[in-house]
């Protein structure tokens, strides 16, 4: 379930970022990375965890629009 939680947090971070909540988005993304790091350390033979970790580290959050 930790993998699914991490993916959900990553996607939630994207939504929060798009909604103009950069700190909440960054917090969720950091939590996703922590969960996936734990899984990679606990199960180094599971390639899926490593792939999801890389995808999550590469997630791009929206930049705040200063004109709003």
HSE-up of residue 66 (Cα within 13 Å, Cβ side): 0
Do the Cβ atoms of 16 and 64 come closer than 8 Å?
no
- CA–CA distance, 43 with 48 (Å, rounded to integer): 10
Write down the pTM of the prediction.
Answer: 0.86
In this prediction, residue 4 carries a pLDDT of 96
Question: Residue by residue, what is the 3-state secondary structure of 41-60?
Answer: HHCCCCHHHHHHHHHHHCCC
Q: Block means of pLDDT (10 residues each) for the chain, length 68 residues?
A: 96 95 96 97 96 92 60
């Amino acid at each position: 379930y930790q993998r699914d939680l991490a993916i959900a947090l990553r996607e939630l971070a994207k939504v929060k970022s798009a909604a103009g909540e950069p700190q909440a988005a960054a917090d969720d993304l950091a939590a996703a990375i922590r969960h996936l790091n734990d899984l990679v350390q606990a199960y180094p033979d599971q390639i899926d965890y490593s792939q999801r970790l890389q995808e999550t580290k590469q997630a791009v959050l929206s930049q705040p629009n200063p004109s709003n």
